[in-house]
Structure 1
């Protein structure tokens, strides 16, 4: 009897140990301690504030702190590399932007990580297209008229961006290629000087986030011509998308996403994806994101997001190669 009792106890302990291990592996017990979310830009910017919004919501839902840690530097490479080399246990995550996940592989030959190999997507948090605007003195009222003018006067039209090799620069090169026009890129060091020269007519057009140009559109100083999202923007409902304007395959989406080191248990990824999907469904969250940041919530499907990332890497690689863009 004693041997049977001992055997029963050992069996129960073995089951309890492996059962607990299984629970942790399936994500049911996750998280059991604080989770760090690395943001690759400085505190106070839109990526930081949006990341903190989701972090607080996750903390409330999962009953463990989700803490934002800012690791800026080297065009976001420092923070991204830190997460890529972290333990794949679900306790170090990355708030990643478009450049980290889809553009950097084509721009940097010695990138210390491979986004496709080293990161496991969790969820696209938010997304937005950009809007092409022209200074009001330019005699065009639509993107079709802009294209016609560019073809009539090759090399005379230009567009300003906040910098070389930025997503805005790549978007301009994509539009130029798909529209079949000559369009001179004028890079600036940030949004402020680009806007200053645009509003004084030194440059003619620019590609920017909707919220940045909206005040100038309302004042009549800038004229919106086309939006690069898949559907029209809620704040500029009369502005057509590139597809509606007849420019095929010219969509350009910027996004923030949550990713984990590759090898993180799939069950943890699925748990986080499900919780974030709940957050994105909240009307107050959607309203705040649109009104304060001009962004919409990202797609919910994990498989769809993974496929989107693969397609974007290929798309931007073609743009970089065709345009000859190089990092300065």
Structure 2
């Protein structure tokens, strides 16, 4: 046997061995069930969009298939309950939102504990909203609005897209801090609320940027303030509400949770993969297209944040006397 023949034979055997290892590894990965991210909101909404923006890149980081499953209902509680009761093996996760903290006080009894039954992994993003008014409202900023509402108690109103939502609570937090009496007008969904606002049937609304930006541009609505602590780059001339009402802030947030009792190693692996995914250019771009800001903090930071949010919204829910739909 010549050296060339022997070398070729050895190369073929080595290639076959490496291929065998690769096939086995691939087969092992394929034999694992997909990781499911449950979303307690309908497809097409912001929470669903955040989950789908994250899923593919998270799967790439973990070498697993990640799918999104929508389980809307009860303000996100149906999906949360399923994750709370899931096996803590990392195969069932939850993309939740601000209502996770609000529901702790809004619902008189829950089938799960919003803190003890979950493992916070990372906050994916935050999303501020805008306080918008119909052009007929004779106020062009938050200071003028508060003065007007106090001069006409109970004569102005807020359109509420969903009772108990973060936007509902944003309005009640505004009333609590300002001392203004503004009536809530509930709707079954954001779309009909925006339509009545455009028609001048209602005066005011807290709305996600994406739901009203075209109407602001067209002059059909006017933006009075933004709920975040900093002005939005897209609206540099719109002050934060906190500039006129110190201490006011109310941004929606979206975060990834697992069930409780996950091993520390699994928590770290999932959290690290999620944070890398959130900071990837593709995912950042999709999040920013929603008007949101990518975050990607640690499990410890996210856990402290969730607990502080539960306490913060409890005060607002008690003030408003809010009830779930």
- Aligned partner of 1:262 in structure 2 is 260
1:134-153 matches, within 5 Å, as: 134-153=133-152
**Alignment length, in residue pairs?**
296
Deviation at 1:269, TM superposition (A): 1.7
> Residues 57-90 of structure 1: CA distance to partner in whole angstroms, max 9, x if unpaired?
0111221111222222333222211110111121
What TM-score, normalized by structure 1, do the two folds share? 0.85
- Aligned partner of 1:131 in structure 2 is 130
- Aligned partner of 1:296 in structure 2 is 293
C-alpha spacing 1:152/1:45, structure 2 compared with 1 (3 Å): closer
Secondary structure of the residue aligned to 1:127 is strand
Deviation at 1:299, TM superposition (A): 4.6
Deviation at 1:41, TM superposition (A): 2.1
Asked if the contact 1:299–1:305 (Cα under 8 Å) also holds between the matched residues in 2, the reply is: no
1:102-117 matches, within 5 Å, as: 102-117=101-116
Alignment equivalent of 2:281, drawn from 280, 283, 291: 283
Asked if the contact 2:93–2:257 (Cα under 8 Å) also holds between the matched residues in 1, the reply is: yes
Unpaired stretches in structure 2, ≥5 consecutive residues: 1-28
Asked if the contact 1:161–1:187 (Cα under 8 Å) also holds between the matched residues in 2, the reply is: yes
- Aligned partner of 1:92 in structure 2 is 92
- Aligned partner of 1:75 in structure 2 is 75
> Within 2, Cα distance between the matches of 1:44 and 1:53?
12
C-alpha spacing 1:299/1:251, structure 2 compared with 1 (3 Å): farther
Q: CA RMSD in A?
A: 1.9
- Aligned partner of 1:249 in structure 2 is 247
Secondary structure of the residue aligned to 1:237 is coil
- Aligned partner of 1:158 in structure 2 is 157
> Residues 99-138 of structure 1: CA distance to partner in whole angstroms, max 9, x if unpaired?
1x20111111221001111011001112111110111121
C-alpha spacing 1:167/1:313, structure 2 compared with 1 (3 Å): same
> Residues 194-222 of structure 1: CA distance to partner in whole angstroms, max 9, x if unpaired?
11211121111110001111001000111
Asked if the contact 1:123–1:302 (Cα under 8 Å) also holds between the matched residues in 2, the reply is: yes
> Within 2, Cα distance between the matches of 1:259 and 1:167?
19
2:295 aligned with 1:309: no
1:192-211 matches, within 5 Å, as: 192-211=191-210
Deviation at 1:231, TM superposition (A): 2.1
Unpaired stretches in structure 1, ≥5 consecutive residues: 1-28
Deviates more, 1:280-289 or 1:308-317: 280-289
> Residues 41-66 of structure 1: CA distance to partner in whole angstroms, max 9, x if unpaired?
23333322321221100111221111
Deviation at 1:188, TM superposition (A): 1.0
C-alpha spacing 1:297/1:182, structure 2 compared with 1 (3 Å): same
- Aligned partner of 1:186 in structure 2 is 185
